[in-house]
Structure 1
Amino acid sequence: MARKKSSAKKPSAKKSSARKSKVVAKDAANADVKICALPPAPERDLAPTMDPFRASLIRFMDKKWVNGTALNYYFFRKPAAWRGAANQEQAVRDAFQEWKDLGLGLVFNEVEAPEDAEVRIGFDQRDGSWSYVGRDAIDHASDPRKRTMNFGWDLTTPYGRDTALHEIGHALGFPHEHQNPNAGIVWDEAAVIANFSGPPNNWPEDQIRHNILRKIDPSLVEGSEWDPDSIMHYRFGAGLIQQPARYQTHSLIPAPGLSPVDIDRAAAFYPMIKREPKLRSYESQRITILPGEQLNFVIEPERSRLYSMQTFGGMDTVMVLFEEIDGQPFYMDGDDDSGSDFNAKITVRLRRGRRYILRLRLYYAMQQGEGVVMLW
């Protein structure tokens, strides 16, 4: 018996290709939005003869804050272009609160003067959305008249809420996830440049390379896991990514909100602060922690005078002193000895009856447990 022929017509290659193009175009449209553009900041210059492991630890932690830091943020009221509407400011407050609700050791405070803030926020709609990364805000943008963060579109939409979380993630020291060298992303560079040089972003090629095509130094990345759902990941339309192959025909659109990996990374670097032991005059405390870990000490001076606190031993540390007022830490002084042959040292006048917190994070130690910190 002859096989019965189907009456259905097989679609022509031309029609199939046309349908595929429509799907790709529709999928790409979901990702075709304005995106964050990081301001350029010079990378730290380390001696070329430095041990690579030591250098990688310094670079990984260099932009992160000492845990327990109070990050004060300020909304500009002038010029008028930088002033945000009440609902836009509230969206940023809500995003700070969402990060804080993770139980982080950082403190977020809104302040009324720009000179009191590490994070200074504008809402210039002509300038896109961006933020300095972590301590770059004080290392490269310390002028209180300058913004360290800007929002350039509505933050009350689902995408806008993610934008606020994303920029605050940068302020905490987290880089772009799509530039993770472990992601295995192979770009169609010509397509990426063509896409982002046009609307709605209209970026020049150097900005596209800086924010998308450039892979960040592997030493700046925690672990080897790529998280395409990270709040620090851009959206990308279909066809901009060649590998993984799925994204040749599908957009990469991260799930909304903070991902489980985002939460784990933030909690690992900024865990809740445990009870701090006291650091007394002329008593040394041994530093037995691992790279990336932190010690916190309470200092309650017995009399008002000039004090010095210093680390001793072959190690790289960042040491920051805060005064605690009404339960809130206020920055006093700090020293970062990483990459140098010197030890961190702070000399400052302390007053009897006041409470101070010394926070010390270890980058690298030539031998674990050989270092100490001392107050005199």
Structure 2
Amino acid sequence: MADRPKVCFDRILPRDLMRLQPTQRRDGRVRAISPIGKTWMNGSALHVRFMGGTAAEQAKAREQAGWWSEVANLKIEFNNAPNAEIRIAFDSSDGAWSYVGTDCRSIALDQPTMNLGFLDGGTSAHEFGHALGLAHEHQNPAGGIQWNEEVVIREMAKSPNFWDEQTTRHNILRRYSADQINGTSFDAESIMLYFFPASWTLNGAGTQENDTLSQLDKQFIAGAKMYPKTGNTVSDAVELKVNAQRRTSASIGKFGEEDLYRFTAKKDGRYVIDTRGPTDIVMKLFGPNNETSLLAEDDDSGTDLNAHIAADLIAGDYFVQVRHYNRARGLGNYTIKVRKL
């Protein structure tokens, strides 16, 4: 079949199939999808190290990564740092794939977090979409693709993919459940959607090849659920004193707002960060001394709808990100405190 597509691996660490947070599906213009818990802290600087590749291949990766950083509130720095969050190989025998968002931090520093085994069209942009926290659009639970599973499994077993049935089901046929993602409606023009022939579907409705970011890709990556340029950044983080006598009062005053905090753990030990109040809060902890290294995330482990994180920390600086559970419509007051036990 001449129009058999090349498809990338969706490398999401297995724990995500076990650690889900509930989300509500809403009508609206949000189209792209992102697995919950995979976004970096808004305003972060992500560093990239090449693990091979020609000058032309590296230039292509830089160019298409820039499509995202032009609209998202993130910096992507190609500085080959030893501890770079994103590490790119160019192994032509290993296809194209990337770990998703902050999963990159769980991969050993001597291993790639992305492989660009082919660079057709917008492949680099697609894989950087994964690295920023986006998932495959064809696995959107709101998508309307009616797969002919027998045909898809048969064709993906052939060149250039050579996938077994399990791999095909994981990367193409399986859809995320609504409680695994941010985002709702299906975007047929998304860079995160591959071309699939009409013959692979039951109703003869295939998908087109998308080599650039769609308008809705740009809106989503720069929107309240991902990396808004109007949102708070690390430089705006409010200092929290460990074991302060009073709790710090705060509020989510507008839709999509994120509150950022930082605190210093002067000694190794067990620390507790928690919120209190009537507001349904989601909280993330990053560090030490690094705003992109996600350590923990919590939704409702505290009292009522409050967040509670207890972690063994080494001495260093840490960052806390707080947002409303419902980024699109949630507002409310809360308090926050850090304690060393």
TM bucket, shorter chain: 0.7 to 0.9
Partner of 2:109: 144
Matched, 1:232 2:192: yes
Q: Quick one: distance in 1 between partners of 2:249 and 2:81?
A: 37
Matching residue of 1:271: 228
Q: Which moved more, 1:122-131 or 1:274-283?
A: 274-283
1:105 matches 2:73:
yes
In 1, distance between residues paired with 2:50 and 2:126? 17
Task: Determine the structure 1 residue equivalent to 2:274.
Answer: 311
SS state at 1:344 partner: strand
Name 1:197's counterpart in structure 2: 157
**Number of residues of Structure 1 aligned to a counterpart in Structure 2:** 307
Structure 1 unaligned regions, length at least 5 = 1-27, 48-53, 77-82, 324-328, 351-355
Higher helix share: 1
Partner SS for 1:38: strand
1:131 corresponds to 2:98: yes
| Structure 1 position 364, deviation (Å) | 3.5
1:22-66 deviation digits (Å, cap 9, x = unpaired):
xxxxxx73x42322122353125249xxxxxx5337x95212222
Contact 1:177 1:226 in 2 (8 A): yes
1:71, 1:109 within 8 Å by CA — same for their partners in 2? yes
Q: Contact between 1:320 and 1:334, CA under 8 Å: does it hold in 2? A: yes
Superposition pairs for residues 364-375 of structure 1, below 5 Å? 364=325, 369-374=332-337
Aligned to 2:6: 34
Partner of 2:145: 185
User: What is the RMSD of the two structures over their aligned residues, measured on CA atoms?
Assistant: 3.3
**TM-score, normalised relative to structure 1:** 0.71
Q: Which amino acid aligns with 2:228?
A: P
Distance between the aligned counterparts of 1:322 and 1:291, measured in 2? Answer: 29
Alignment partners' CA distance in 2, 1:333 and 1:194: 39
Q: 1:253 aligns with which of 202, 208, 230?
A: 208
CA change 1:277–1:177 in 2 (3 A) is: closer
Residues 285 and 320 (structure 1 numbering): CA distance in 2 closer, same or farther, change over 3 Å?
farther
Instruction: Give the one of 272, 293, 298 matched to 1:337.
Output: 298
- SS across alignment from 1:195: helix
- Distance, in Å, in 1 between the alignment partners of 2:185 and 2:22 is 21
Q: Which amino acid aligns with 1:164?
A: S
Listed as ranges, the gaps of 5+ residues in structure 2 are: 25-33
Percent of pairs with identical residues? 29
Look up the match of 1:68.
Answer: 43
Aligned-partner Cα distance in 1 for 2:19–2:300: 7
User: After superposition, what is the alpha-carbon deviation per residue over 1:233-290, rounded to whole angstroms, capped at 9, x for unaligned?
Assistant: 01111211123x4x2xxx5223430001111110111011447264364461324368
1:98 is paired with a residue whose SS is: helix
Identify if the C-alpha distance between structure 1 residues 371 and 55 changes in structure 2 by more than 3 Å, giving closer, same or farther. Answer: same
Give the counterpart letter for 1:295 in structure 2. D
Distance in 2 of aligned mates of 1:209 and 1:106: 33
Look up the equivalent residue of 2:163 and give its one-letter code.
W
Structure 1 residue 200: deviation in Å? Answer: 1.7
* CA spacing shift, 1:107–1:322, aligned 2, 3 Å: farther
Paired residues of 2:45 and 2:74 also in contact (CA < 8 A): yes
- Cα distance in 1 for residues equivalent to 2:318 and 2:18: 30
Cα gap change, 1:171 to 1:309, in 2 (>3 Å): same
Aligned pair 1:45/2:18, yes or no? yes
Amino acid at match of 1:254: E
Matches of 1:361 and 1:289 in 2, distance apart? 12
Q: 1:44 to 1:210 in 2, by over 3 A?
A: closer
Q: Distance in 2 between matches of 1:210 and 1:219?
A: 17
Q: Quote the offset at 1:291 in angstroms.
A: 8.8
The equivalent of 1:85 in structure 2 is 54
Q: Quick one: which amino acid aligns to residue 18 of structure 2? A: D
Query: C-alpha separation between the residues in 1 aligned to 2:338 and 2:43?
Result: 20
**Is the 8 Å Cα contact of residues 290 and 362 (structure 1) preserved in structure 2?**
no
